[in-house]
Structure 1
Amino acid sequence: MPQDNQDISIEVVRLAKRPQFLFVRSGRAERRKSLVVQARQRTGEAPGTHIGEGFTATKKVGNSVVRNRAKRRLREAARLLLPRFGKPGTDYVFIARDATADIGWTRLLDDMESALISLAAD
């Protein structure tokens, strides 16, 4: 049985190429303690076709083990929240911060949710 808006299926696709990340970088950004979320509306496409998601962590976050853990946490949080709070026709890039790998799970979810809501309210 579907819950509230989860019956609407929006496809979420992964951003993989550097030009896609650079496109999103010139859009809007919301910064939180545990992450940064960048978003930009796609152009030249029918609106509402899908949501794009990309993940990155710089070497300032830590060694490869810490960076990979941070990106895994961001991917899981985005899997849970992006279909509900993401705007169709928009690409999002989630950037890990120093606290991403170790911060509490509910705090990470709260930070991501508040950033997505702020980005959707334009």
Structure 2
Amino acid sequence: MADDKTPADKPTVGRLKSRPQFLAVREGERRKGPFFQLEVLDRKAPEDPARVGFTVTKKHGNAVERNRMRRRLKEAVRLSAAFAMQPGHDYVVVARREVLGASFEALSKALGDRIQSKPKPKRPPAGSRNE
């Protein structure tokens, strides 16, 4: 019998819970958005489900405001962005204060856009031209 909590058409997304997991993702790619920064790490394990973690620092408000930001981001991932997450990748969403004032539709759209965006090619350092 199918479980009502996890329908077959919804993707399974794991959670990042320990500090070493969050620190490992910091070594990956960073994608900046208007409401958050998204850190992405390809674990090179396409058979594993995607994992996501959320970070809200103390500089963004008191505990009530930080928890509200985290809840909004979790819900945006659950409803819309989980479909865009690629298996074998870890995602950390680092909230900014603007999450509190943003409409939920704008937040969900920005999150989906950042997850689906392709990495930009890195520019060579200044002064390293080959002539």
Whichever of the two has the greater Rg, that structure is: 2
Partners of 2:26 and 2:11 in 1: how far apart?
23
Show the counterpart of 2:90: 91
Show the counterpart of 1:13: 14
Relative to structure 1, is the Cα distance of residues 65 and 99 closer, same or farther in structure 2, using a 3 angstrom cutoff? same
Structure 2 gaps, min length 5? 1-6, 122-131
TM-score, normalized by length of structure 1?
0.84
Report the aligned-residue RMSD: 2.2
> What is the aligned-residue identity percentage?
36
Relative to structure 1, is the Cα distance of residues 119 and 53 closer, same or farther in structure 2, using a 3 angstrom cutoff? farther
Q: Tell me the amino acid that sits aligned with residue 15 of structure 1.
A: L
TM-score, normalized by length of structure 2?
0.79
Higher normalized contact order (CA 8 Å, seq sep 6+, divided by chain length): 1
Verify the 8 A CA contact 1:28 1:38 in the aligned structure 2. Answer: yes
Moved more, 75-84 or 88-97: 75-84
Partners of 2:91 and 2:106 in 1: how far apart?
20
Deviations 1:63-121 (A, max 9, x none): 11110000000000011233311111000001110101221111111110110011589
Q: Tell me the amino acid that sits aligned with residue 11 of structure 1.
A: T
Verify the 8 A CA contact 1:86 1:120 in the aligned structure 2. Answer: no
Structure 1 gaps, min length 5? 1-5
Verify the 8 A CA contact 1:15 1:54 in the aligned structure 2. Answer: yes
Relative to structure 1, is the Cα distance of residues 61 and 21 closer, same or farther in structure 2, using a 3 angstrom cutoff? same
- Structure with higher helix content: 1
Verify the 8 A CA contact 1:10 1:88 in the aligned structure 2. Answer: no
* Cα distance, 1:60 vs structure 2: 1.5
Matched, 1:100 2:99: yes
Q: How does 1:42-121 map to 2 (within 5 A)?
A: 42-43=43-44, 45=45, 47-119=46-118
